[in-house]
Structure 1
């Protein structure tokens, strides 16, 4: 545990509940088991299904541009981690030329209503704004937060801090039965699982595919590599559509965050190849790979409910159905 007073938290500012004294610090490698328990508790009680293993959280602490001592906050009651938050700021602006930082966190159910969420935001927001200013000087910027399910207590708290609802995301799921045959691909195109040699080509395809997607920006090589080799990555389930010159035209990248659940992290098609069924073909192959692996019961994904490519209709045609909806919120930073 890291008990050093965080520089963004004033001494004595951390709230306390009845007969509860809280210790504030930052998150480190020794805390990932407790952090995972808290994250999964919050996912359970709030119904978001955002579960993480300790190994996945350990990777977050070593991510490109992350300084855990300055970018994370942990609140302990005795030996139990009861609240946390973290900030991240990509080094590249989004496709609208804006700098952006993302805040995430949570509070144990039995420690809510004591001001911990507000105190965490008081600590994290200045650091997030500082990162945007340092990495994107002179650009407009904003802070974004995933507020959980519509109507959550987090959503109400964030509104009181000036955040507004800006987007809704649907989680879709499909059981691994009744899978159609893989459609025929166009001449000169082949389907394959991604290998190390495809890493940069897929990144380039992704940056092209998501150029017109809300909230996205080009992914730099370092964070892309971390995603490519992450513990959760499942290249054997993933699918690429590649042309004769080795260019990636469409891709489905899969991870495993929860046992027996295959999760589609990313789906995209470069603009010149949209409308030819490549994403659907790649996704059908991935579904069949998940069936053949024998280690999964369901395949899931999240999709922007206002996706410019009409992705939700594609997924519904392939048997996916919505299981929950979450809301993203934003607050503009002053120039």
Structure 2
């Protein structure tokens, strides 16, 4: 069952995190342990895709995607990662902890890791997981923030039982559920896409460099009332561009916004207010798409993926999301994609799940977020 955010904590985060002074040892399996570096990208890619195949996960990674993770400036792989290598120097396990620079209401630490299928059952996964949780507690305590904290990890709905038990034994609780949806695009004559006329002068445009920062501001506003969401910094917003598909990405712009009304609206954040005063373009909705070619074979067909879709709260109810999705799907179809795909929080407060169902999206797969709340 999904649970709501708990009541605000009383003790400081440093107290609640209960960070250990020393990280637990890694001894299982006779592996040699060290931090990850950029030079490990090829070995990490092979291990991660081997694990994905063995566990029946519906995705694979490309080298460019993994290099982007290793190169992200807020990642500290020198202190927040471990690689386990066997006597021949072959990578057999890894773990790392990711914290986010834009967190303002709740500071979060995400756990990522796996063990090669041939080396499971030796206690390696339990030790790596314990190391990750301990390092996450250290990182949260070190922020000095007087905020709620969260240690989190993701599991596919059909994840192997031992991986599920790792989370359960550590006290993680399922907190949110996500659906991977698809919409067939191969017969648009029989299943047409909606034709949407935007009202009051709103304009649909390709997402280009001139509107990229305005799209980030729109994203932060659109997701401000979404569970678990935190504002994205410019660095975070530009992350993930290894798979970014500009030819499938769009924005809706209000060329003549009511600046006075928006500045008076308490929902307007300070960054948007500054942009309005400076006369910057106001993006009111955005569709950021990605091309995950490494996943085409796994899914059995080429697909276009809606990575992020959002509409400013002041502009909801004006068919902006429908117009953006339809534009994205038409672009996917024109480029020969068999289906449109996306991932959605099943309790999205904007009613997105119902919107996707009305447009013909159907669930293909599911995943969940598990957390320890601090």
TM-score (norm 2): 0.80
Give a deviation string over 1:6-27, Cα, whole Å, max 9, x none: x9463xx3211xxxx3222222
Asked whether the equivalents of residues 254 and 263 of structure 1 are also in contact (C-alpha less than 8 Å), the reply is yes
Query: In structure 2, what is the equivalent of residue 15 of structure 1?
Result: 28
Query: What's the secondary structure of 1:315's corresponding residue?
Result: helix
Partner of 2:95: 85
1:119 lines up with 2:127 in the alignment: yes
Tell me how far 1:148 sits from its aligned partner.
2.1
1:194 counterpart = 2:229: no
Q: How does 1:34-73 map to 2 (within 5 A)?
A: 34-73=43-82
1:264 matches 2:290 = no
Contact 2:155/2:164 (8 A) holds in 1: yes
User: Contact 1:46 / 1:149 at 8 angstroms: preserved in 2?
Assistant: no
1:299 aligns with 2:307: no
Deviates more, 1:22-31 or 1:163-172: 22-31
CA contact (8 A) 1:239 1:283 kept: no
Larger strand proportion, structure 1 or 2? Answer: 1
* 1:187 CA displacement: 3.1
TM-score w.r.t. the length of structure 1 is 0.88
Per the TM alignment, residue 151 of structure 1 is displaced from its structure 2 partner at its CA by: 5.9
Count of residue correspondences:
316
Shift of 1:136: 4.9
Cα distance in 2 for partners of 1:128, 1:113 equals 24
Task: Specify the alignment match of 1:276 in structure 2.
Answer: 318
Look up the match of 1:145.
153
Deviations 1:91-120 (A, max 9, x none): 2335xx221111112222222221122111
Change (3 A) 1:24 1:9: farther
Supply the distance in 1 between the matched residues of 2:285 and 2:210 (Cα, whole angstroms).
16
Which structure dedicates a bigger proportion of its chain to helix? Answer: 2
Deviation string, structure 1 residues 250-278 (Cα, Å, up to 9, x no partner): 11111122343322111111111112221
Larger Rg: 2
Which residue does the alignment assign to 2:239? 226
Instruction: Give RMSD over aligned pairs.
Output: 1.9
**CA–CA separation in structure 2 for the residues paired with 1:201 and 1:46:** 39
Q: CA deviation at 1:55?
A: 1.2
Q: For residues 202-255 of structure 1, give each alpha carbon's deviation from its aligned partner in whole angstroms, at most 9, with x where no partner exists.
A: 11100110011111011112222334xx22111110111111143111111111
Alignment of 1:159-178 (within 5 A): 159-177=168-186, 178=188
Offset at residue 130 of structure 1 (A): 2.2
Deviations 1:137-176, CA, capped at 9 Å, x for gaps: 2222110000222564222211101111111111111222
What displacement does 1:181 show?
A: 4.6
- Where 2:147 maps in the other structure, the secondary structure is coil
Does the 8 A contact of 2:129 with 2:166 survive in 1? Answer: no
Paired with 1:319 and 1:199, the residues of 2 have a C-alpha distance of 29
- More deviation in 35-44 or 315-324? 35-44
Distance 1:132 1:92, change over 3 A: farther
Q: Secondary structure at the match of 2:242?
A: coil
Matches within 5 A, 1:201-220: 201-220=214-233
Post-superposition CA distance 1:296-331 (Å, at most 9, x none): 332211111111112111111112110111111001
Find runs of 4+ consecutive structure 1 residues off by over 6 angstroms.
none
Instruction: Please point out which of 306, 330, 335 is paired with 1:288.
Output: 330
Residue 254 of structure 2 is aligned to residue 243 of structure 1: yes
2:288 aligns with 253
5+ long unaligned stretches in structure 1: 1-6
Q: 1:131 matched to which residue of 2?
A: 139
Please give the alpha-carbon distance, in whole angstroms, between the structure 1 residues aligned to 2:306 and 2:245.
10
Partner of 2:261: none
